[in-house]
Amino acid sequence: MLIDVHTHYMPQALGEVLGRRAQEPRLFHEGGQRLVDWGGGIVYPLWREAVDIGSIRERMSRHGITTSVLSVITPSVESLPAPDGIAVARACNDELAELACRNPGRIEGVAALPWQAPEAAVAELQRARTLGLRGAQVHSNVAGKPLDSPEFAQVFDAAAELDLPVVLHPAHPLSAASVEAYALTTTLGFLFDTSTAALRLILGGLFARHPAFKLYLCHIGSILPYVLGRLDYEAARYDGAMGALEVPPSEHVRLLYTDSVCVWPPGLRLALEVFGPDRVMFGSDEPFWATDRALDTVGRVDLSEQDSAQLYSGAAARLFGLDTDSA
């Protein structure tokens, strides 16, 4: 079994609405290519592997991937006006559910939600659950708003009640002005933004309210594994730095799930030490990153047979409730 929990896909409805937009985020044609303009100077080609399920399946077969968990490619629906975001999220989730139905055990999906309209996001999360989607995605900020803003609490509470995981993926970072040079937006800005978002949720009491909450922070836990000691030390020094917690923040950080996306074996080893092999899952980050590099990274980490089974499939199957017999 090999489950890839980090695969991006652009449903047709999102491509259509981005193609009609004159401002960022938008989809446009240049030099015979379709390009996605995410904003802030981030432009990427809309690879065939992002829109064609046949190409995704071919890649899976080539690399021995049993199941791919698809999430809607960035920019997703959160940066759209609320009416568009609600309608496009619904259409995206219908398409993801249909792909899963047509490819049983091979393709699974996590829902896109209109977080900019929190009540509608709750309703869409509930509907996505009935469609068989395996969780929901949130980006590290919602059109510039931090995730611990009070209006978003109802969406996280609904996910806890439904026992659905939430995948925390980078958005255009709030620190964008300081990382625009030298491609630091993707190198560092993304990781700073997701780390900050996760910590604000943790210190705001997400796990205090919902101890069994399933929050999946992409990219080997982002920056957090490297700063756990500093986090606990500083939290004990300043008034209010503990937030809603009565235990060292690192105890709640260790409740996160993450993936192996890093192409740096020492980083993956640290993530495994911090979170444990039952909370670290294989991910490729296709089509932005390459599956062969992801497999090579895991292969260069000395894992026991039991830990390998957890990383390649066991942890993902539990988190997303996957039927490995079907796969």
Q: For each of the domains in the chain, give its residue range(s) and CATH number, in order of start.
A: 3-319 (3.20.20.140)
Q: Write out pLDDT tens, residues 245-260.
A: 999 999 999 999 999 9
The answer on pLDDT for 327 being more than 60 is no
Mean pLDDT of the chain: 96
Backbone angles phi, psi at 168, to 5 degrees: -100, 110
pLDDT at 326: 56
Q: Write out pLDDT tens, residues 165-175.
A: 999 999 999 99
CA distance from start to end of the chain = 8
Among the listed residues 195, 321, 220, the one whose alpha carbon sits nearest the alpha carbon of residue 271 = 220
d(CA 324, CA 327): 5
Q: Write out pLDDT tens, residues 96-113.
A: 999 999 999 999 999 999
Q: Write out pLDDT tens, residues 72-100.
A: 999 999 999 999 999 999 999 999 999 99
Among the listed residues 219, 255, 209, 213, the one whose alpha carbon sits nearest the alpha carbon of residue 140 = 219
Would you place residue 325 in the very low, low, confident or very high pLDDT band (cuts 50, 70, 90)? low
d(CA 202, CA 166): 14
Write the CA distances from 52 to 57, 65, 99, 287, integer angstroms. 9, 17, 11, 11
Least confident of 24-28, 102-106, 179-183, 283-287: 179-183
User: Are 219 and 237 in contact, with CB atoms under 8 Å apart?
Assistant: no
Region 20-49: mean pLDDT is 94
Region 39-60: mean pLDDT is 95
